[in-house]
Structure 1
Amino acid sequence: MDKVQADRWRGVAERTWRPAALLAACLAVWHLITVTGLVEAYLVPSPAKTFGLLVDKWSYLWGHTWVTTYETILGFVIAGVLGVLVAVAMVYSRTIESTAYPILLFAQVIPKIAIAPLFVVWLGFGLEPKVIVAVLMAFFPVVISTVTGLKSVDTEMLDLAATMGGGPVKTFVKIRFPAALPHLFAGLKVAVTLAVTGAVVGEFVGSNEGLGYVILQANGNMDTPMLFAGLIVISVVGVLLFLLLDLAERLMLPWHASRRGAAVTTLLAKGGS
């Protein structure tokens, strides 16, 4: 293994050992609670029983996991595209901004669990209600973060582009949108976790498949090991989608100040050694 690869693995270890230690501590506390009998076993199953169930019922859980993941990704993509388009319209038109912003805020504060049954009544028990709830959950962070990013561009840079003959479209493509990408990715990373929640909420209301359905059935049957297993799988799905977006951000925005700062810190640490 050469020095570059060794440094890379050392960096990975430095970034992951603290979260791994915290996770191990949480599992240890969970195990102690169940072993000492502080909580009845039918209320909180042991980690061994929960993870054993994950292994035994993996084929069953995998089918439902794929359903929820598909609903999440579809709702997230729709929310991302619509959110960016609405944000651009709001930035370039004060009329649209003043008209749409109160409506967006009103729609955001409505509890999605309260309106999800309406979508089931209107659209049935298929894919559409779950995707719509996921879109509603993920839409607002994308809009707000994109608007913030598009408005935070240095006005002197915009004036320079106009002086050099850059039209609105070219200025947007070359300056505004690239400058807004860090804010956009921040909103997307929040939105993708909310999309998971939205898909599960839609499954709670009316579904015969998906992780929300698994949790609802386990709760009704007082099957706490399956309930915990479903919650763990949902958390893993959300974390993996978040990490995929974080990786995409690292690949697309190596020039951003936060990435440069990390690189400079690494170089200084190497120079001091």
Structure 2
Amino acid sequence: MNRTKALPWIVAPATIIVILIVWQAWVTLMDVNPFIMPSPIALGKEFGVLLTEPNTWAQTLITVSEVLMGFVIGVVSGLAVGIVLGKVAWLETSMRPLIIIAQVAPKVAFIPLFVIWFGFGMTSKVVLAAILAFFPVMLNALLGVRSVALGQRELMQSLNATRMQTFGQLELRSVLPYLFAGMEVAIVLATTGAIVGEFLGGSSGLGAMVVSAMSSLNAARTFALILLLSLIGLILYVIVNESKRLFIPWHESVYALQEA
């Protein structure tokens, strides 16, 4: 491994260590109230306690299930709608105002309605996660279909390729890189949607545990839960990002990952 490749693995941990040292020094020297800002040491202890509690893993399973179900629904529906709108130009033009309105609307504001419609269970969180994941996938799928050049389509026609062959060998391969770009954004938004849904309208999941910790003014536990949620989001993002190697090994983004 040369210096360029090794640099990220050195800089990132060093930056985290420096932040923790500064954080600990600031809390100690300024005598900050632990109810306001816990020290890294207290956070580490609470995080260790959190991981030993069976309830933590049960609630983690609930949150991850909500995220994955919403993500899958958002990806499948976004891909289907994006491909249709990309292939039918007049439909995309007529639907564009509705798409823009739906995209810019504050999704979090719909949580009370989702709770009324779907209850306090997992369904309302899955719906919110799916809606947030839908738009980046749909827009990128649309761009992927539009990225196919006319000359490439004419070449497939000259080879007497059927519509399914043209879709599988040309259009789908063009859409996949755009799809994964949208999925990288979608998994982050789906995670955010599920957690925010638990904040505002849930009695289970890690988001509800964060609300409970905040209500009891337990700052160390709140930070520990936020750290756990961040790690879960990071793991899910890495899984989606690394899946490029399996599905689009020919694309330049994969080579960029291998060279990094």
Common fold, TM-score beyond 0.5? yes
Match of 1:167 in 2: 162
Q: Give the 3 Å change call, closer, same or farther, for CA 101–38 of structure 1 in structure 2.
A: farther
Q: Report the CA distance between 1:71 and its aligned residue.
A: 0.3
1:204 is matched with 199
| Residues 1:50 and 2:50 are matched in the alignment | no
Q: Secondary structure at the match of 2:243?
A: helix
1:43-95 deviations in Å (ceiling 9; x for gaps): 11111111211111222322222111110000000000000000011011123
Aligned partner (choices 125, 147, 150) of residue 152 of structure 1: 147
- Tell me the distance in 1 between the aligned counterparts of 2:20 and 2:124: 36
| Letter in structure 2 aligned against 1:205 | L
The answer to whether the 8 A contact 1:192-1:242 is kept is yes
Q: Distance in 2 between matches of 1:156 and 1:47?
A: 59
**Farther-moved stretch of structure 1 (215-224 vs 71-80):** 215-224
Residue pairs, 1:49-198, within 5 angstroms: 49-58=42-51, 59=53, 60-198=55-193
Per-residue deviation, 1:257: 2.1
What number of residue pairs does the alignment pair up? Answer: 258
Identical aligned residues as a percent: 33
Deviates more, 1:231-240 or 1:24-33: 24-33
The match for 1:253 among 223, 243, 248 is: 248
Describe the superposition over 1:232-270 as per-residue Cα deviations: whole angstroms up to 9, x where unpaired: 11111111001001110123222112334566x69xxxx
Q: Which runs of 4+ in 1 moved over 3 A?
A: 9-15, 258-263
Whether contact under 8 Å (1:120, 1:205) holds in the other structure is no
Task: Find out whether 1:221 has 2:216 as its counterpart.
Answer: yes
CA positional deviation for 1:135: 0.7
Instruction: Give 1:271's aligned residue.
Output: none
Displacement of 1:120: 0.4
In structure 2, distance between residues paired with 1:154 and 1:251: 25
Whether 1:24 and 2:3 are equivalent positions in the alignment is no
Partner of 1:41: 34
Is the partner of 1:42 in helix, strand or coil? coil
TM-score normalised to structure 2 length: 0.91
Shift in alpha-carbon separation, 1:10–1:245, aligned structure 2, 3 A: farther
When normalised by structure 1's length, the TM-score is: 0.87
CA distance 1:76–1:217, change in 2 (3 Å): same
CA distance 1:34–1:61, shift in 2 (3 Å) = farther
Distance in 2, matches of 1:200 and 1:17, equals 32
Residue identity matched to 1:18: V
Whether the aligned pair in 1 keeps the contact of 2:133 and 2:187 (CA below 8 Å) is: yes
Q: Distance between the aligned counterparts of 2:23 and 2:161, measured in 1?
A: 60
Aligned CA RMSD, in angstroms, stands at 2.1
Cα distance, 1:15 vs structure 2: 4.3
